[in-house]
Amino acid sequence: MEFQLWWLLSWPLFFGLGWLAARIDIRHLVRESRSLPRSYLSGLNFLLKEQPDKAIDAFLEAVRIDPQTVELHFALGNLFRRRGELDRAIRIHQSLVDREDLDDVQGLQALQELGEDYLKAGLLDRAEDVYLKLRGTSHNEAANDALLEIYQQEKNWQRAIEIARDMPRRGSHRWEVDIANFYCEMATTALAHSEFNRALGLLEEALATNRTSVRANLLRGDVFVALKRDAEAVDAWQAIGDQDPAYLSLVADRLMDAHRRLGHEEKGALFLRTHLYQTPSLDLLEIVFKWEIERNGPEAAYALVRDELKRNPTMLGLEKLLEAASRTVDSDMKDDIELVKKLIHGHTRRVARYCCKSCGFKARQFYWRCPACGGWETYPPKRTEEFDLAV
């Protein structure tokens, strides 16, 4: 390719144009920085140094010097909220909402910030009013999230259902699971007030929304027992074995009681033992173990736990094995077994917990909604030891 002389001559020209553009940008930046109050720059410096108290003082001074600085008000309000001074944050953001000189984008942002202040302060009715205004705007998604949380805190399940039905799917999250649980919450209240037909209707809605809702069938069984319809209760609870057999441990006791009242306890025990073999569960083992001791004696219970321990080796299972063994030996050996059992029990107390698969929060009792992250059905019905082995 032949070299062109004019290329060489153009380099100084390009260099000069670049230098001139840089000078213009620098002058513009300097001019803007000089127009800002010095306290504003000090506030930014304090923020970078993670000194929010001094930053707030500096921003307050900047707002006093230049009350029209909108971004300063936003920064100041957010700092107050982070510090927990919610009354001051509310005043700052309310003053922005009341201003008529804000454009639409700033006005919606001010409203969003005010809603967050109210929500964090626990002023749910005021937060609800704000977020209802934000629905249908560019803040619609955040507004729906906040409203859903508000209605769950207020236990206004019908409104929660309406909001959740309008929310788009997010990744693997299925809103049908949440909605079915909202129906179950209403059904629980109806059951507590002996409104059995209403409870059954709500549970049918839950299953229509989410056919895999284990909780709906669990509650249907409870309603049928209250109506003295044990055969239908058994059908509802045994359907859980088709939905997710891991949850059978939550109804095993009630299922056996219903079978006992119907006069075919052996049939119920066979059903549970079959599912225990197919889906190992420490909680289910506890129920079947107790039935074996009462019905067939400690030797049969020992054989049951021994077989389960071979298939699913856990410390909790070992504790059950020792309990069965202590009932089959003489007094001298029994004392030794009890001693070992006590030592193991100290360890099993730490692993005999349920664990949220979403946030990792652990609890001794089972929850349909995690107390920490608020997720529905994030607790597998397995103890921590089983959960860790499965992972």
Has residue 61 been placed in a domain?
A: no
Residue where a domain terminates, one of 154, 170, 185:
154
With bands split at pLDDT 50, 70 and 90, how would you rate the model's confidence at 15?
low
Give yes or no: residues 119 and 178 share one domain.
no
Give yes or no: residues 231 and 265 share one domain.
no
> Could you report the per-residue pLDDT of 241-299, keeping only the tens digit for each?
999 988 998 898 899 999 999 998 889 888 988 888 887 777 787 788 888 888 888 78
| Annotated binding-site residue? 370 | yes
Has residue 30 been placed in a domain?
A: no
Give yes or no: residues 361 and 331 share one domain.
no
Cβ-contact 161, 182 below 8 angstroms: yes
pLDDT on residue 25? 42
Has residue 92 been placed in a domain?
A: yes
Higher per-residue confidence, 158 vs 170:
158
Give yes or no: residues 253 and 346 share one domain.
yes
Give yes or no: residues 237 and 274 share one domain.
no
Give yes or no: residues 84 and 106 share one domain.
yes
Q: For residue 51, which of 28, 79, 30 has the smallest C-alpha distance? A: 79
With bands split at pLDDT 50, 70 and 90, how would you rate the model's confidence at 28?
very low
Has residue 389 been placed in a domain?
A: yes
Residue where a domain terminates, one of 185, 211, 243:
243
* Cα–Cα distance, 239 to 344 (Å, whole number): 36
Q: Which CATH number do you get for residue 261?
A: 1.25.40
Residue where a domain terminates, one of 223, 243, 263:
243
- Is pLDDT at 86 greater than 60 in this prediction? yes
| Annotated binding-site residue? 359 | yes
Q: What is the largest CA-CA distance in the chain?
A: 109
| Annotated binding-site residue? 355 | no
Give yes or no: residues 93 and 126 share one domain.
yes
Has residue 193 been placed in a domain?
A: yes
Alpha-carbon distance values, 330 to 148, 334, 355 (Å):
61, 6, 39
Has residue 118 been placed in a domain?
A: yes
Residues in Cβ contact with 285 at an 8 Å cutoff, skipping those fewer than 6 apart:
276, 304, 305, 308, 317, 320
Give yes or no: residues 390 and 347 share one domain.
no
DSSP line for 243-283: H-GGGGGGTHHHHHHHHHHHT-HHHHHHHHHHHHHHS--HH
User: What range defines the domain where residue 137 resides?
Assistant: 68-154
Has residue 4 been placed in a domain?
A: no
Give yes or no: residues 203 and 130 share one domain.
no
Of 12-26, 118-132, 181-195, the poorest mean pLDDT is in 12-26
Q: Which CATH number do you get for residue 174?
A: 1.25.40.10
Domain count of the fold of the chain: 4
| Annotated binding-site residue? 356 | yes
Give yes or no: residues 82 and 95 share one domain.
yes
Has residue 210 been placed in a domain?
A: yes
- Is pLDDT at 211 greater than 90 in this prediction? yes
Number of Cβ atoms within 10 Å of the Cβ of 360:
10
Q: For residue 236, which of 262, 218, 253 has the smallest C-alpha distance? A: 218
Give yes or no: residues 312 and 273 share one domain.
yes
Give yes or no: residues 168 and 138 share one domain.
no
* Cα–Cα distance, 202 to 220 (Å, whole number): 10
